[in-house]
Amino acid sequence: MRLRAEKRIDSPAWMTFMTTALSVLLALTAGGVFLYLQGVSPFAAYAAILKSAFGSGYDLSETAVKALPLAIVSLAVMLSFTMLVWNIGGEGQALVGALAAAAVVRYFPVGSKPAMLSMMALAAVFAGGFWAGIAGLLKAKWNVNEIITTLMLNYIAMRLLEYFVYGPWRDPSSLGFPMTKPFIAAARLPSLWGTRIHMGIYALFFLTAVMEILLWRTRFGYEIRVMGDNARAARYAGMDCMKKVVGVMFISGAIAGFAGMCEVSGLQGRLQSGFSAQYGYTAIIVAWLSHLRPSLSLIIAFLMGALLVGGEALQIGMGLPMASAQILQGLILFFVLGGEFFQNYRVRIDAG
Amino acid sequence: METLLPIFVAAVRSGTPILYATLGEILTEKAGVMNLGLEGIMLMGALSGFAASLWGGSPLIGLAAAFAVGACLGLIHAFLSVTLGSNQVVCGLAMTMFGGGASALAGRSYIGMTIPGLDSWSIPVISKLPVIGRIFFSQDIMVYASFALVFLMMFFLHRTRPGMNLRAAGDNPKAADAMGLPVAGIRYLYTVIGAGLVALGGAYMSVVYNKFWAEGMTAGRGWIAVAMVIFAIWNPLQAALGAYLFGGVETFQLRLQAAGARVPAPLLMMLPYLMTILVLLFISAGKGHKVSLSAPAALGIPFYREERE
Amino acid sequence: MAGLKFRDVGDVPLVEMKGITKRFSGVTANRDVSFSVEAGEVHALLGENGAGKSTLMNILYGLYRPDKGQIFVQGKAREFHSPKDAIAAGIGMVHQHFMLVQTHSVWENMILGMKETPFILPRKKIQDRIAEISEQYGMQIDPSAAVWQLSTGEQQRVALLRMLYRNAKVLILDEPTAVLTPQESEKLFGTIRRMTREGHGVVFISHKLKEVMSEAGRVTVLRGGLNAGTVAASKTREEALAEMMVGRKASLGLERKPMARGDSVLEAKEIHVLGDRGIKAVNGVSLCLKRYEIFGVAGVAGNGQRELCEALSGLRPLISGEISVNGARMDRESPRSFIDEGVHYIPSDRKGTGMASGMDIVNNSILKKYWSKPVAKGFFIDWGTSADYAEEIVESFGVSVSSLSTPVRNLSGGNLQKLLMGRELSGTPNAVIVMHPTWGLDVSATHYVRDQILARRESGSAILLISEDLDELMALSDRLAVMFKGEFMDVLDNPGTVPIKEIGIMMAGGHKRPRTAASKADREASR
């Protein structure tokens, strides 16, 4: 008896859905085993996650709060992934976006909310775009591996943020905590419906629609999809891949930078160290799980948001490190990757 | 010279974790598999090395345990990328997340503890050599082992039968397969061993260098090692150069901090990452041609025999 | 070791395959095929592309495992799990693309996969042994060279020697002459005769009837995966074999109407181009493509043909020289401007270059239209128009697909080429550059593709045809250049009147006409 894999001619959408769902289920099971081995009751842990994420209207709104930056950053990385350019730097781009927004608030405060917010958004978008654009330019001009540059830029952005919040921008009245003074009222995105959800959510819906159209309805989207499928064919059709790399990275970083601004302006109201709980990395999972479809990423981001909220609940309620949610994220990605094999291949058992 | 000497000595120590990780990744990539999960594997190695040293009472037990844990993680990566043909970039990211999370969870009770760890041991006679003796031969056995590993790997890759097979699997798996080599087996083997070496790099940090465990203590060294593989053009000797260069910059910025330099600490701490980008730019811009020629031709591409074009 | 001695086992063949069946995702490549090889014979395996020849031999070589059937080696039933087992049983294969590791040296390739090699490679000993064997079979090779530095013919020699190095008794040669000049082929046949004299059995895969008739003892014809019969070459005729191959009376039936040459469309003057490895690939080529004319380029693959095509379609920058299209200088222009000027390139690497194979037929149909009306509507793409356009190509070029949303990677080779030709030939392009248009296609698809090329000629396109198939070139070309090491050895105005032998000599770099005369001929031609 032996196993043999045969390529499927086509894989229907329901099969993609089923294998993904099954993969996630298996990942949660494996995560449960891991938790059990660590002396944590998996049932208690999962119950805590579920309850904290979906337990009440307020909990749901908190999940949405977490999902918001995830969804925006996942739109950002999705654009580059479609082109098979690996922007792993959503985290750093969001950080410099937030940094730029905070700088505007500090040095050019204006009283009018629309003016203040647009200035912040503009600064964040350019800062994020610039940050990712560096990696794009290095790749286009000298073929420098963008995975490494975007990652290194994450670490650099983190240090940069630390420099400002520990140093020149620290609020003297913060009792030594690394954070800036609270933003002026004009610099705050208004909250909605009495929750911590803020106006950034409208921007998210708008961006999702724009991305959906951009990727699937425009010449630009067509070009980057061809480049992602086969860069040689793209060149052969006269597309300038190198120019597009820089452009795509800039847009990608700009979106991530905007997410960073939303986070500080809508949620925290000030810049502080470690404000982004590794959103940049989680967003990558969101992008991958949604098969690079912007509209799908809304749902996936919400579910991942639930996991993040749950992670916090584990930290507060059970004394587990915040990073343990990453275990589940890693496992989900492992299993979904493995599951993709069964979408593309049919495994047959041969006798003999 | 006298003032610089301690910096060089420390640079070698601080570059050693990167060196192990880079060598491990070279081995894996030469066989045609790209493992980007180094950061996660190093963290798991650091934790398991520390924990096993603590419980086993010997740093050597710790190092062995780290290798074993790394090898297991390598096995996961090999299964996904060799057998299931998954996207290796995303798989590496998954490994990074998993390793980071799992080491944080499993290591929560070890925070704040210290171990005696591995002490340095000067090699008699040659450690008395001027300059070189101090820098290279007054270290610990893991440093010496890494020297040996560099040369062993050079020899192994180019002068031995299994080394040749390994390169064949990475350059032209189809041809290797047609000549009866078990391509999947070769790729599994070196992904596993490579990941073991990567984990040793992590363990060096917790068992030898710091002698404690801290969440996320590798601080991007796994990714830096990925960069160093390219910088080294897949050559072990050049990997050592890259690793020590990193170690030098790292040591330099730590000394500056300790000396109370005017430059704020976070800005100094950027230096190793900045240097990594610059070094990569230098090699890609200057020797781009050589990089693309030396890269294993089938790197990151899954191989299945009965697939007709 | 001089002269291999095999165990005398009387009438038992060296190798016998019985009732072999093999399926690939629903396609049956071999159905109940039996086949055998005797010591000292050349057994030809004949069939059109896609008849299952290579699959059958890959099974014998242990690369594929049969779904049904058995393999006997000297009368004993054997099961091969991998080529390792087949090699151990004395079976060796030289694949069409040789399966050599390009970055390794010759001697490393020679011993690749040999278990009995010591742990530390004894380079000197291996090189001596290689010298010994190459002496024995009369094949010269430099064992320390890197494979990528060798010519195609030399690489084939390495692949063949590699099998002899492992004492293969049965040698399978997969279309060995497809990549050789006629002279090199002659030399190869000499080597084959030498091997059979030494007692080897040789399987010779081919679709060229002439070679088969002159070299083989027995001939087995495969058709559609079935064994259509085994006959002695001496007891049959070419026509009979051809009929067995295609199942009906075969006819080349290509009619190239005489036409007056039109205006010149694409002109290149003394162009120099670098290859991928930074080594000069095209070395001062001049040519002029005219309407109503097919300009053929003969030559062994790897002599700069691909680089020439890429330069002429704007994909590869020139180091020096000029290219003009319709009289306007184009050599600093982007690939996009070449397309806009109506210069269309059909690459030989259909899946790897010509198509984004993960995308569907509609997406691929508009690859060179998406930026211009009516497919483009400003910043947007009109998917309705695109689908209509794809439908049009599929219908007028007879691409058989179940749906336009099928990913291109799932199309068969013939359908893929039809789609590609359809996209590039629709409308009437000013110039078409076609490379190896019939590679890997079956007889009917080949016929169709050649017909389409001729039709474009008649409707006024200027065509550059690059091929390794001399018969194809002779039948289609109005003028024929022979390319060797990046240069045109000569440009023949009336290729039909030149003996094939002379072309073969030029393909191997032999007596080139003096440059002045050649360029004079070209000047005359462009007048």
User: CB of C118 within 8 Å of any CB in chain B?
Assistant: yes
Distance CA C303, CA C298 (A): 10
Residue C290 and residue C145 share a domain: no
Axis crossing angle, helix B88-106 with helix B38-56, rounded to the nearest 10? 30
User: CB of B287 within 8 Å of any CB in chain C?
Assistant: no
Residue C217 and residue C107 share a domain: yes
Count the domains in chain C: 3
CATH code: domain of residue C36? 3.40.50.300
pLDDT tens for residues B242-284?
999 999 988 888 888 888 778 788 888 888 888 888 888 888 8
Residue C317 and residue C373 share a domain: no
Confidence grade of residue C198 (pLDDT, cut at 50, 70, 90) = confident
Residue C185 and residue C95 share a domain: yes
Q: Do B180 and C113 touch (CB under 8 A)?
A: yes
State mean pLDDT over C329-347.
89
pLDDT tens for residues B184-238?
999 999 999 999 999 999 999 999 988 899 988 998 899 999 989 988 889 999 9
What's the pLDDT at C247?
A: 67
User: CB of B165 within 8 Å of any CB in chain C?
Assistant: yes
Q: What is the DSSP letter of C234?
A: G
Residue C48 and residue C181 share a domain: yes
State mean pLDDT over C84-112.
90
Residue C258 and residue C204 share a domain: no
Distance CA A123, CA A119 (A): 6
Contacts of A240 in chain C (CB under 8 A): 334
Residue C448 and residue C384 share a domain: no
Q: Do B227 and A7 touch (CB under 8 A)?
A: no
Distance CA C345, CA C323 (A): 15
User: CB of C59 within 8 Å of any CB in chain B?
Assistant: no
State mean pLDDT over A161-178.
82
- For residue A12, pLDDT beyond 80: no
Distance CA B13, CA B201 (A): 11
**How many Cα atoms sit within 13 Å of B121 on the Cβ side?**
10
Q: Do C113 and B159 touch (CB under 8 A)?
A: no
Q: C514 in a domain, yes or no?
A: yes
Residue C222 and residue C272 share a domain: no
Instruction: List the structure tokens of A330.
Output: 């890693």
pLDDT tens for residues C433-447?
999 888 877 777 788
- For residue B68, pLDDT beyond 70: yes
Strands C201-206 and C42-46, how do they pair? parallel
Distance CA A322, CA A281 (A): 14
Range of the domain at C442: 253-342+431-452+462-527
User: CB of B266 within 8 Å of any CB in chain C?
Assistant: no
Distance CA A347, CA C516 (A): 65
User: CB of C250 within 8 Å of any CB in chain B?
Assistant: no
Q: C372 in a domain, yes or no?
A: yes
Do residues C418 and C350 make contact, with C-beta atoms less than 8 angstroms apart?
A: no
Find the Cα–Cα–Cα–Cα dihedral C98, C103, C106, C107, rounded to 10°: -120
Distances from the Cα of C206 to the Cα of A95, B269, C175, C211, C300, angstroms:
64, 66, 5, 8, 17
Provide the ipTM.
Answer: 0.84
Confidence grade of residue C525 (pLDDT, cut at 50, 70, 90) = very low
The mean-pLDDT minimum among A206-210, A347-351, C123-127 falls in A347-351
Confidence grade of residue B70 (pLDDT, cut at 50, 70, 90) = very high
Nearest CA in chain B to A152: B273
What's the pLDDT at C48?
A: 76
User: CB of B306 within 8 Å of any CB in chain C?
Assistant: yes
What's the pLDDT at A4?
A: 67
Can you give the C-alpha Rg of chain C in angstroms? 25
Nearest beta carbon to residue B80 from set A88, A155, A338: A338
A43 burial (CB, 10 Å; 0-12 / 13-18 / 19+) is exposed
The mean-pLDDT minimum among A100-104, A173-177, C165-169 falls in A173-177
Residue C519 and residue C377 share a domain: no
- For residue A226, pLDDT beyond 90: yes
What's the pLDDT at B308?
A: 45
For residue C37, the cross-strand partners are C15
- For residue C77, pLDDT beyond 70: yes
In terms of DSSP H, where are the helices of chain B? 5-30, 38-56, 59-78, 88-106, 132-137, 141-159, 161-171, 173-178, 183-203, 221-231, 236-258, 265-269, 271-294
Contacts of C371 in chain A (CB under 8 A): 219
Check whether the bond before C374 is cis (ω within 30° of 0): yes
Q: What angle do CA C27, C29, C35 make, to 5 degrees?
A: 160
Nearest to C83 by CA among C170, C199, C23, C25: C170
Do residues C213 and C235 make contact, with C-beta atoms less than 8 angstroms apart?
A: no
Residue C459 to chain A, least CA–CA distance (Å):
24
Contacts of C368 in chain A (CB under 8 A): 237-238
Contacts of C362 in chain A (CB under 8 A): none
In terms of DSSP H, where are the helices of A38-183? 42-54, 57-82, 90-107, 113-142, 146-166
Distance CA C330, CA C271 (A): 12
Residue C446 and residue C307 share a domain: yes
Distance CA A48, CA C503 (A): 81
What residue segments make up the domains of chain A, in order of their start? Answer: 67-293
Distances from the Cα of A27 to the Cα of A42, A55, C500, angstroms:
13, 22, 66
Tell me the CATH number of domain B5-294, given options 1.10.3470, 2.40.128, 3.40.50, 1.10.10: 1.10.3470
Distance CA C338, CA C310 (A): 11
Instruction: List the structure tokens of C512.
Output: 């080139």
Distance CA C422, CA A167 (A): 65
Q: What is the rounded average pLDDT for all residues in chain B?
A: 88
**Helix, coil or strand: residue C21:** strand
State mean pLDDT over A105-110.
88
What's the pLDDT at A43?
A: 86
What's the pLDDT at C520?
A: 45
Q: C409 in a domain, yes or no?
A: yes
Q: Do A320 and B105 touch (CB under 8 A)?
A: yes
What residue segments make up the domains of chain B, in order of their start? Answer: 5-294
- For residue B78, pLDDT beyond 50: yes
- For residue A271, pLDDT beyond 90: no
